[in-house]
């Protein structure tokens, strides 16, 4: 499904920037998988969506760390909420499980198709060690990759975006040559609109209520392009270039 209010066609861009975690990589599924292992060991039932809500709230807290290292601290909040043991072993299990999170089913093929048309740039709030694992699972599609270790800040900080703009300018492009693609309204869609970028919202949680493990935005931003899956963007780009 595609909904678009964009005035610029997909053929107008030379670069596509991506949020990685939540857009290309299924971190919510990984959180649920890790908790399922712990719950089975401890003979406790856990509602995955309820656990994601606790995780989301924990990510709001002052002193929150960088992803996915912060999963250890967040697990402590989940353990308290669901009566699980808060051990160093289980904290590390959650960090490791999310560090090995898998791509969504359509991500690898979609990125392969998009790479044939654009220079692809990762803009992730994950640390470099985790991003390197994710990029390998995605088939190494990126022309460039930015992590919190590289930028010294997290999205939605505008400085993160300006560092990417500088890289594109160094390559002979401009901000207007970029399509920013993401599932997070809070981290990506809102700020990309404020910075004057054209954006594509990949609504990974379509058909599900709430924001899951992603921080909820203060207000919803209507995207330029709206898809339910990344492969729909790739197919739309193929159609646009083939027209």
Cite the active site residues: 19
Query: Which tokens belong to 160?
Result: 């993160």
Per DSSP, the three-state class of 216 is coil
Query: Which tokens belong to 125?
Result: 């709030």
Contact indicator for 23, 230 with CB cutoff of 8 Å? yes
Q: From CA 114, how far away is CA 108, in angstroms rounded?
A: 10
Other beta carbons within 10 Å of 43: 6
Query: What Å distances lie between residue 27 and 31, 34, 52, CA to CA?
Result: 6, 10, 10
Which stretches of the chain are assigned E, i.e. beta strand? Answer: 2-4, 15-18, 119-123, 144-146, 178-182, 198-202, 225-227
């Amino acid at each position: 499904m595609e909904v678009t209010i964009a005035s610029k066609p997909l053929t107008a861009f030379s670069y596509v920037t991506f949020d990685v975690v939540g857009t290309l990589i299924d971190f919510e599924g990984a959180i649920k998988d890790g908790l399922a292992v712990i719950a089975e060991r401890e003979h406790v039932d856990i509602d995955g969506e309820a656990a994601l809500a606790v995780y989301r709230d924990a990510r709001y807290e002052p002193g929150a760390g960088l992803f996915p290292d912060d999963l250890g601290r967040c697990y402590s909040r989940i353990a308290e909420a669901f009566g699980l043991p808060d051990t160093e072993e289980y904290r590390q299990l959650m960090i490791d499980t999310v560090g090995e999170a898998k791509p969504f089913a359509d991500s690898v093929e979609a990125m392969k198709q998009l790479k044939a048309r654009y220079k692809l740039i990762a803009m992730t709030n994950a640390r470099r060690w985790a991003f390197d694992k994710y990029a390998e699972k995605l088939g190494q599609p990126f022309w460039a990759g930015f992590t919190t270790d590289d930028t010294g800040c997290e999205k939605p900080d505008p400085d993160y975006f300006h560092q990417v703009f500088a890289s594109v300018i160094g390559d002979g492009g401009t901000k207007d040559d970029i399509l920013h693609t993401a599932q997070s309204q809070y981290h990506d869609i809102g700020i990309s609109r404020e910075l004057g970028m054209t954006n594509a919202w990949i609504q990974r949680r379509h058909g599900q209520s709430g924001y899951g493990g992603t921080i909820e935005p203060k207000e919803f931003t209507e995207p330029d392009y709206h898809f339910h899956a990344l492969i729909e963007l790739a197919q739309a780009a193929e159609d646009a270039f083939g027209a």
